Amino acid sequence: MIQHFDMSLVDWSRGQFALTALYHWLFVPLTLGLSFIIAIMETIYVKTGDPVWKKITKFWMTIFGINFAIGVATGIILEFEFGTNWSKYSWFVGDIFGAPLAIEGILAFFMESTFIAVMFFGWEKVSKKFHLASTWLTAIGSNLSAMWILIANAWMQNPVGMHFNPDTARNEMLSFGDVVFSPTAVNKFLHTVTQGYVLASIVVLAISAWFLLKNREVLFAKRSMVVGSVFGLIGIIMVIYTGDGSARQVSKTQPMKFASMEALYEGQSHAPLVAFGIMGKQEENMPGKHPFPLRIEIPGMLSYLADHNSGTYVPGIKDLIYGNKEHNILSLDEKAERGSVAIQTLKELRDAKTTDPEKYKELRAKFEDPQWMKNYFSFFGYGYYKGEKPSTLLPNVSMTFYSFHLMVLLGFFFLLVLLLALIWSIKDRLAGKKWFLWVLIWTAPLAYLATELGWLVAEIGRQPWVIQNLMPNLAAVSNISATTVQITFWMFAVTFTILAIAELKIMFRQIGLGPKEGGH
């Protein structure tokens, strides 16, 4: 069925959305973490009355404001693309996907927009406690915005709490609680926002390190480093903990992504985790299989990551392509056949609605039968790939593997850096360790890299699905020309690049001015 779709349109639409999302995420994580760091700093100021803490708070508030404005601009474009580029997706799941986006806009966005004005312009106009409350509410509002967006994304990864209406060909929400509190949503929210907390903490440490190297605003830098390192250390511990929970959910709901994260071709019990590996080229006629010229493994660790049991069987890419009867794993061909039955049944139902009431009633009953829905409709998206090569249903294994492992490696590097920063900050030894101050400065771009890698794992690893198992990307795009998307892709690429450069120039200028001039 793939030949009936314009794959050029699909690829360019995916590219445009990825471009927008990656640029958007350059600005968002810093604001998520920095909002709480600012609130903590202002709390210390209100408790102590020390004007230095007020100066510190105002400086970091300015850095927050620069990133917040551009984050909002790119976020609005991202949401519009659901309607312009992915209208079929919006129709298919709009009743569910639209709910958290609407709440994000109505509740969280207006909440943070209201209190951010008081936070920036209310220093001499409202009481200290009211201003502090506004700062905390801005932080909470920013993170609530992220929460609803991440709930929507988690539902795409693991669609729950819904019912398919065959008359409208739309998925309708059945349980709001299941959508919001699914384990996938909870883990995705906590893991993603704590990544933002770590990134913000590292940025605070990097900028403070620059001031120490320049021997400027030493007290400001030292105090910022204490708050940043404590907040960041708590954040990285949470990232590691929630990453473990996220991995378990992926192993259950997206086994192909889980296998691709480790390039695991042959399923096995006591499956090892690749601590370090270099992949070779994919073997011919064996989709997803990559030899490893060099590999260091931790025995049983992948099985433990999947189920907290080192003896758990982890299906490999081969199992998921060709099936494994011993472990009740269907092949891609079997899933495609079942999905094709669901698609055909839906077509027949819609034809019979006006011409054959009895047949319509019979077919309608299937969509009300939980067992039929489980056996057939749950594989609806696979029906688009009936008769196609298995490789069309595989993610980019090498990119998923390297993105995942580099992200994990950087996470443990951040843990070490934040721990050392905290110890030496408390002992007041950082100013004399110039080599470590330079490490802190160069760790900042690595923090941005790590958070982007996390999204690459999440999104590339689940391809070709827009909604896991139910809708592939080729069935979700709008009926527009590929040329239109190409033009807008390059327009956005140029615009976002200019915005990013402008943002960096403004931020570096503000850092150069320092907290004395920049904080007032």
Residue 468 to residues 64, 95, 158, 160, 338, Cα–Cα distance (Å): 35, 17, 6, 11, 15
Same domain, 91 and 140: yes
User: Does the residue 192 lie in any domain?
Assistant: yes
Same domain, 169 and 72: yes
Same domain, 146 and 217: yes
Query: How many C-alpha atoms does 350 have within 13 Å on its Cβ side?
Result: 11
The token pair at 282 is 């994919």
User: Does the residue 1 lie in any domain?
Assistant: no
In 10 A of CB 412, how many CB atoms? 11
Quick check: 453 and 407 in contact, CB under 8 A?
A: yes
Counting beta carbons within 10 angstroms of the beta carbon of residue 328, is it exposed (0 to 12), middle (13 to 18) or buried (19 or more)?
exposed
Q: Identify residue 209 by its one-letter amino acid code.
A: A
Q: Which pLDDT tens digit goes with each residue over 51-101?
A: 999 999 999 999 998 888 788 778 888 888 888 889 899 888 878 888 888
Residue that the structure tokens 């850092």 belong to:
511
User: Does the residue 212 lie in any domain?
Assistant: yes
Give the chain's residues under pLDDT 70: 1-3, 109, 516-520
User: Does the residue 343 lie in any domain?
Assistant: yes
Same domain, 372 and 404: no
Same domain, 373 and 410: no
Residue that the structure tokens 């384990």 belong to:
183
Q: Which pLDDT tens digit goes with each residue over 245-257?
A: 999 999 999 999 9
Q: What is the pTM of this model?
A: 0.92
User: Does the residue 519 lie in any domain?
Assistant: no
Alpha-carbon span 509 to 40, nearest angstrom? 25
Q: Identify residue 240 by its one-letter amino acid code.
A: I
User: Does the residue 95 lie in any domain?
Assistant: yes
Nearest Cα to Cα of residue 289 among 311, 314, 258, 321: 321
Question: Last residue of a domain, which of 342, 364, 391?
Answer: 391
Same domain, 349 and 407: no
Alpha-carbon span 454 to 171, nearest angstrom? 28
Same domain, 90 and 225: yes
User: Does the residue 232 lie in any domain?
Assistant: yes
Percent helix, strand and coil across the chain, each to the nearest 5: 75, 5, 20
DSSP 109: I
DSSP 293: S
Same domain, 92 and 140: yes
Domain, as residue range, for 308: 264-325
Residues in the chain: 520
Quick check: 170 and 95 in contact, CB under 8 A?
A: yes
Question: Last residue of a domain, which of 374, 391, 408?
Answer: 391
Same domain, 268 and 339: no
Question: Last residue of a domain, which of 354, 369, 391?
Answer: 391
Give percent of the chain with pLDDT exceeding 70.
98
Three-state DSSP class for residue 297? strand
Same domain, 82 and 103: yes
The token pair at 470 is 């139910």
How many folded domains does the chain comprise?
3
User: Does the residue 518 lie in any domain?
Assistant: no
| Sign of the Cα pseudo-torsion (256, 257, 258, 262, in order) | positive
Same domain, 454 and 490: yes
Nearest Cα to Cα of residue 82 among 109, 107, 100, 106: 100
Same domain, 55 and 152: yes
| Sign of the Cα pseudo-torsion (112, 114, 117, 118, in order) | negative
Quick check: 78 and 20 in contact, CB under 8 A?
A: yes
Three-state DSSP class for residue 276? strand
Give the pLDDT confidence score for residue 15 in this predicted structure: 93
